[in-house]
């Protein structure tokens, strides 16, 4: 089971909204919208994606990492922390 | 005319690809894909959006800002630089 | 005990290096170094700080969060995950 | 002359403050401050550095880029825009 299982519907709704934002961006470019207005919309879309990623990281640490720790599988817990850290690093640089 | 006019088709192609990436994210969540794999795909999508934004900023500075400067409209050039700086700030924090 | 206790010396060395980078930045500005070269040095300093932050987050999750989870204090573990998530959010936007 | 010449004193003051923040970070680690509190201070320091970088970019575009454009040296103006864009890209990823 994925760490975000309990909030799956919420994530799907947010992703549908983000898809709509990207479609809005295409429309803006098609209609030759002023660069700065397109950039404002890109920042809003990026922020929505980031916020989603932070939410998934929270669920991953809250469920996947702690379950491995509680399950006394120290190696598995360590592996999951390393995965989380690498995901944080990728996110910060993306 | 928008600053990105000359590369409009390229931007539209990149946005179509980003829309596909977001649809891929929805599919991943629907299929309960492991959190970390969803996060990897979010980072790739974010990076694509960022790269698009940096491209638009480049065009804005290269065309809109310098045209206003060359056109001897110092006030307009200053206004456009301020807009660009605020867009950079929003981008960095998004 | 702090989560980073085992690597404290390493963190102190990295912070000393970052302090040196900031002093280098002051020298650059004092000597009227070209804007772009100052910006390159700022990016290097930021990246060093980010990398330090990701390291501390790793230690926090690896030690503080999992210890609370193992210690069967679910509430404490949850509180520590929330702290970590908020720290990730601040980091991503800083 | 550097693009930030007119605000040099302000930049030097801000850098002195950032140096103080990094020294504060060293003290925190020396005193085994709780990871999350160190991370909060790192985010504040990163934000101060970012804000400085955005300021320098603004000056670079406002002075160096537009002067090259006004000076009718289109090639030089283009080169300076490319430098600015690369600096933005480094900043966004740092």
| C44 at interface of A, judged by CB pairs closer than 8 A | no
Angstrom CA distances, C6 to A45, A77, B72, C3, D63, stand at 40, 18, 61, 8, 49
- Picking from C10, C36, C59, C93 by the largest number of D CB atoms within 10 A of its own CB, the best residue to mutate is C36
Query: Using a CB-CB distance cutoff of 8 angstroms, which residues of chain A are in contact with residue B79?
Result: none
A73 three-class SS:
coil
- Other Cβ atoms closer than 10 A to D6: 11
Distance from CA of B10 to the nearest CA of A (A): 10
Domain ranges of chain D: 5-93
**Mean pLDDT throughout B24-50?**
97
Q: Which fold has domain C5-93?
A: Methane Monooxygenase Hydroxylase; Chain G, domain 1 (1.20.58)
Query: Using a CB-CB distance cutoff of 8 angstroms, which residues of chain A are in contact with residue C91?
Result: 92
D19-42 core/surface letters (b: 16 or more CB in 10 A; e: else): bebbeebbebbeeebebbebbbbb
Q: What is the residue whose two structure tokens read 């404290």?
A: C8
| A92 at interface of B, judged by CB pairs closer than 8 A | no
B35-67 core/surface letters (b: 16 or more CB in 10 A; e: else): bbebbbbbbbbbbbbbebbbbbbbbbbbbbbbb
The shares of helix, strand and coil residues in chain C, as percent rounded to the nearest 5, are 85, 0, 15
Q: Which residue has the higher pLDDT, D72 or A50?
A: A50
Distance from CA of B69 to the nearest CA of D (A): 6
DSSP tag of B60: I
Q: Which tokens belong to A74?
A: 């120290």
Confidence of residue D53 (pLDDT cuts 50, 70, 90): very high
Chain-centre distance for alpha carbon D86: 14
Angle value at C-alpha A39, between A38 and A41, nearest 5 degrees: 65
Quote the strand ranges of A1-94, DSSP E.
Answer: none
Distance from CA of B16 to the nearest CA of D (A): 22
pLDDT at C2: 85
Asked whether residue B63 carries a pLDDT value surpassing 80, the answer given is: yes
Dihedrals phi, psi of A73, to nearest 5 degrees: -100, 80
Asked whether residue A2 carries a pLDDT value surpassing 80, the answer given is: yes
pLDDT by residue for chain C (94 residues), tens only, comes to 788 999 999 999 999 999 999 999 999 999 999 999 999 999 999 999 999 999 999 999 999 999 998 887 889 999 999 999 999 999 998 8
Check residue D32 and give left, alpha or beta (phi > 0: left; psi -120 to 50: alpha): left
């Amino acid at each position: 089971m994925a760490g975000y299982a309990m909030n799956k519907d919420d994530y799907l709704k947010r992703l549908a909204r983000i898809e709509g934002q990207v479609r809005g961006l295409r429309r803006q470019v098609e209609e030759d919208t002023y660069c700065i207005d397109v950039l404002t919309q890109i920042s809003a879309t990026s922020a929505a994606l980031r916020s989603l990623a932070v939410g998934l990281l929270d669920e991953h640490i809250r469920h996947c990492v702690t379950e491995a720790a509680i399950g006394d599988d120290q190696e598995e817990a360590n592996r999951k922390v390393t995965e989380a850290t690498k995901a944080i690093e990728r996110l910060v640089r993306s």
